[in-house]
């Protein structure tokens, strides 16, 4: 995973709550077996509407999405994070993220920064009054800057550390393989195994 320290890019105001992952990437695009190449799938249904924000310049070149509360609800599809990244987004700002989406973002180096809704509203106003304004997201100081707005954001320390260091999760866990093996030896024998298969 690439290290993330700061990013500065055009902010995209998405004035909508409950943006579920079916909207971020419709199910029809989940049939692919690759991990990249999902840029065409991002907000595919909404992008058919010419007035959708990503169909307008300069927002189409945006890299910081500023969304309403409860972003990323619904399906666990990590494809939603892949699509945002493939399109060019580096960070999403919202006052509340769905747990699974936030987890998936952290694994893939997309920064999910949680801001107070009042600060989101202030940033929306800046971006709507002056389209093309850049947003600076600083993971070191946990702050966002946009025009005259400077706001703190929340992210859990462990995810922040992993993003700053660009660490691979599996590699980290396998450092403790002895602990896993020791735990396995203590599991009760009545716990089920899938193999050998028993069927009715």
Q: Which residues bind another protein (CB under 8 A)?
A: 15-18, 20, 22-23, 26-28, 30-35, 45, 68-70, 73-79, 81, 96-100, 103-104, 107-108, 156-158, 169-170, 172-174, 176-177, 179-180, 183-184, 187-195, 197-200
Residue among 12 and 114 whose Cβ is closer to another protein: 114
Q: How far is Cα 80 from Cα 23, in angstroms, rounded to an integer?
A: 9
Token representation of residue 122? 């202030």
* H, E, C per residue of 62-80: CCEEEECCCECECCCCCHH
The smaller minimum CB distance to another protein, of residues 11 and 72, is found at 72
Residue 30 beta carbon to another protein: minimum distance, rounded to whole angstroms: 5
Task: Report the residue number, 116 or 180, with the smaller CB distance to another protein.
Answer: 180
Least distance between another protein and beta carbon 16 (Å): 7
Q: Which is nearer to another protein, 1 or 150 (CB)?
A: 1
- List, in sequence order, every residue forming a beta bridge with 6; answer none if it has no partner: 138
List of E strands, the chain: 6-14, 64-67, 91-94, 111-114, 134-138, 143-146, 149-152
Give the shortest CB-57-to-another protein separation in angstroms: 24
- Is 188 exposed, middle or buried, given 0-12, 13-18 or 19+ CB atoms closer than 10 A? exposed
- The sheet carrying 149-152 orders its strands as 111-114, 91-94, 64-67, 6-14, 134-138, 143-146, 149-152
Alpha-carbon distance of 80 to 47, in angstroms, equals 15
Which of 31, 57 has the CB closer to another protein?
Answer: 31
């Amino acid at each position: 995973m690439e290290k993330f320290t700061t990013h500065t890019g055009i902010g995209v105001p998405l004035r909508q709550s409950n943006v579920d992952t079916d909207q971020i990437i419709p199910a029809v695009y989940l049939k692919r077996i690759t991990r990249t190449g999902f840029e065409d799938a991002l907000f595919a249904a909404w992008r058919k509407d010419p007035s959708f924000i990503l169909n307008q310049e300069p927002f189409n070149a945006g890299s910081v999405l500023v969304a309403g509360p409860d972003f990323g609800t619904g399906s666990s599809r990590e494809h939603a994070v892949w699509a945002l990244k493939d399109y060019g987004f580096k960070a999403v700002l919202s006052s509340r993220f769905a747990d699974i989406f936030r987890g998936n973002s952290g694994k893939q180096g997309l920064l999910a920064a949680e801001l107070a809704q009042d600060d989101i509203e202030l940033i929306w106003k800046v971006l709507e009054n002056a389209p093309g304004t850049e947003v600076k997201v600083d993971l070191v100081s946990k702050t966002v800057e946009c025009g005259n707005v400077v706001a703190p954001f929340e992210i859990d320390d462990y995810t922040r550390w992993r993003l700053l260091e660009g660490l691979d999760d599996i590699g980290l866990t396998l450092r403790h393989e002895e602990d896993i093996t020791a735990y396995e030896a203590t599991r009760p024998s009545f716990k089920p195994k899938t193999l050998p298969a028993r069927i009715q």
